[in-house]
Structure 1
Amino acid sequence: MSDTVPGRPRLAGRVALVTGAGQGIGAAVARSLYALGVSVAATDVHGAAVAELAERLAARPPASVPGGGEGPAAAVRAYPLDVTDGRAVEETVERIERDLGPLGILVNVAGILRTAPAAELTDEDWSRTFAVNTTGVFHTARAVAPRMAGRGTGSIVTVASNAAGIPRTGMAAYAASKAAAVMFTKCLGLEYARHGVRCNVVAPGSTDTPMQRSLWTDPDAPRRVLDGDLATYRTGIPLARIADPQDIADAVVFLASDQARHITMQDLYVDGGATLR
């Protein structure tokens, strides 16, 4: 029988690595895990951003852990990391496990967006997008999954995009890189299931992050996201709201927790129904 408390993820005492934690969804994931008693290694290519996040979180440690009173003391530490550098990823993972303990959770959030019509993308646009969004996921998983397997447990969640499952104008490199990251994560989950390592995907739609706001070129842009835009073949968002980063973080926390212990190789769309699936 499960010892989880209904509606309350039990994660206290675990250690998580969150990439892209300097802002947006990554920062929300780091905050949410830490609030549940997880020791968080917050990484980002922008070291100052994760250092500031770690300082803010450490100043307000969780007083208790939902579902069980006082939990073990959680820590949060910042690690500057470029996920495109495989050697740096391996060295950082080793350092995290020395500093905080064995990793039980990996959340891949680091990503970039380069927009242009498909035939107008530069070689640098294409290669850089895949280096971060796809190869970065490969690097972290390669460093972490075998360690988890050796311990017989672990959860890996890749934050992709609903663009991985539906064509978007001007987003060919981004969509293709996210689709590749989705299938890599699912294949990883198949290979590591027998070792107790679960691998899942969260696919956000339009979310109020700096990346999303970079696409808004006029005051009517948010309304077009909600209502749809015939010129770009977008259907809009049936729930009539743009997601908050916390909406995505909540889905990540669920999949990372034991409440999802029988879920692996799944792709959870958190997009307000925008992809009609």
Structure 2
Amino acid sequence: MTVKNVAIVTGAAQGMGYEVFHALAARGYVTIGIDIQKEKLQKVKEIVEQDNVAVEIFGADVSDSTRVNEIIDQVYKTYGSIDVLVNAAGVLSQGEVTTLSDEDWERTFAVNTTGVFHISRAVCNRMKENQQGAVVTISSNAASVPRTSMSAYCASKAASLMFTKCLGLEMASYGIRCNIVSPGATDTEMQRAFWNEEADIEKGIKGIPEQYRVGIPLQKIANTSDITEAVLFLLSENARHITMNNIVVDGGATLGAQ
């Protein structure tokens, strides 16, 4: 049996991953959510299922290739197809290069870069069998603009961005499109963890000269729905001739320097 419109979303327990997971399910996809936060993911599943949609969840660390391969094999065996992949799992470690620990550096790359590689490799091997599919990796505007105290995050997101473009080039002959969405400051749990007070939000919008941040020309931070809409566009038939592209959703914060 082959089921059409099967989607996999990593990082589905919160933030952008949750929004995309919910949005795809609402649009009729059989949506599979993957996240290391098992209890939180279960609560998300219960919320989304209230809309009478088809969802399934797996607790997993995307840096564990064996577990990733097991999940993708199981999904493909069950549904006979994987049509969409959204790489939304991510972590953010802050600290200047001279004080950043090995553990923070390695964990950041393990999730933000190696995790994208693991899940994309496993899914694209299945997509190739059906000669179609769409992949979107959520990177960051920090992938192409240096940030103080964010070297690991910036470098890992830059690597996942270029990896996805290379993947798109290799997969093009199979009808598989691979694109990137790069958010700027967005109102998520991850972002709020680094804000001590509401004034920090205003500083980010106006700019922080001592950190070489120019601020956000549109004078607001993004909502997760802003990012989700860009992801949905790239997954849709409206973007059927777009691949290896990067849509930056940052209110102009990087001045188009992508």
Q: TM-score band (shorter)?
A: over 0.9
Within 2, Cα distance between the matches of 1:59 and 1:36? 14
Deviations 1:106-144 (A, max 9, x none): 000000000001221111111110000000000001101
Q: Which residue of 2 aligns with 1:273?
A: 252
What is the DSSP-based 3-state SS (H/G/I as helix, E as strand, rest coil) of the residue aligned with 2:98? helix
Q: Which residue of 1 aligns with 2:166?
A: 187
Contact kept, 8 Å, 2:135 with 2:179, in 1: the verdict is yes
One-letter code aligned to 2:104 = D
Contact kept, 8 Å, 1:32 with 1:250, in 2: the verdict is no
What is the DSSP-based 3-state SS (H/G/I as helix, E as strand, rest coil) of the residue aligned with 1:207? coil
Instruction: Give TM-score scaled by structure 2 length.
Output: 0.96
Please, what is the CA RMSD of the aligned residues? 1.2
List, as ranges, runs of 4+ consecutive aligned residues in structure 1 with deviation greater than 6 Å.
Answer: none
Q: Which residue of 2 aligns with 1:69?
A: none
Residue 35 of structure 1 and its aligned partner are, at CA, apart by 1.1
- 1:256 equivalenced with 2:235 (yes/no): yes
Contact kept, 8 Å, 2:10 with 2:88, in 1: the verdict is yes
Deviations 1:88-115 (A, max 9, x none): 0000111222334411000000000000
Within 2, Cα distance between the matches of 1:271 and 1:125? 26
Q: Which residue of 1 aligns with 2:125?
A: 146
One-letter code aligned to 1:103 = I
Residue 233 of structure 1 and its aligned partner are, at CA, apart by 0.7
What is the DSSP-based 3-state SS (H/G/I as helix, E as strand, rest coil) of the residue aligned with 1:120? coil
Deviations 1:204-260 (A, max 9, x none): 000000111111123310001110111111111111111111110111111011111
One-letter code aligned to 1:179 = A
Query: Of the candidates 198, 205, 208, which is equivalent to residue 177 of structure 2?
Result: 198
Q: Which residue of 1 aligns with 2:213?
A: 234
Contact kept, 8 Å, 2:132 with 2:175, in 1: the verdict is yes
Query: Of the candidates 17, 23, 28, which is equivalent to residue 14 of structure 2?
Result: 23
Query: Of the candidates 29, 34, 42, which is equivalent to residue 38 of structure 1?
Result: 29
What is the DSSP-based 3-state SS (H/G/I as helix, E as strand, rest coil) of the residue aligned with 2:51? coil
Within 2, Cα distance between the matches of 1:261 and 1:160? 21
Deviates more, 1:32-41 or 1:91-100: 91-100
What is the DSSP-based 3-state SS (H/G/I as helix, E as strand, rest coil) of the residue aligned with 1:102? coil
What is the DSSP-based 3-state SS (H/G/I as helix, E as strand, rest coil) of the residue aligned with 1:59? helix
Contact kept, 8 Å, 2:9 with 2:33, in 1: the verdict is yes
1:1-277 matches, cutoff 5 A: 13-61=4-52, 74-277=53-256
Contact kept, 8 Å, 2:5 with 2:82, in 1: the verdict is yes
Contact kept, 8 Å, 1:75 with 1:100, in 2: the verdict is no
Deviations 1:30-67 (A, max 9, x none): 11111111110011001111211111111212xxxxxx
Contact kept, 8 Å, 1:156 with 1:199, in 2: the verdict is yes
Within 2, Cα distance between the matches of 1:233 and 1:245? 25
Contact kept, 8 Å, 2:4 with 2:81, in 1: the verdict is no
Within 1, Cα distance between the matches of 2:116 and 2:211? 29
What is the DSSP-based 3-state SS (H/G/I as helix, E as strand, rest coil) of the residue aligned with 1:16? strand
Identical aligned residues as a percent: 48
Contact kept, 8 Å, 1:199 with 1:264, in 2: the verdict is yes
Deviations 1:174-218 (A, max 9, x none): 000000000000000001100001000000000000111111123
Please, which runs of 5 or more residues in structure 1 have no aligned partner? Answer: 1-11, 62-73
Within 1, Cα distance between the matches of 2:183 and 2:198? 23
What is the DSSP-based 3-state SS (H/G/I as helix, E as strand, rest coil) of the residue aligned with 2:43? helix
Within 1, Cα distance between the matches of 2:17 and 2:220? 20
Instruction: Give TM-score scaled by structure 1 length.
Output: 0.89
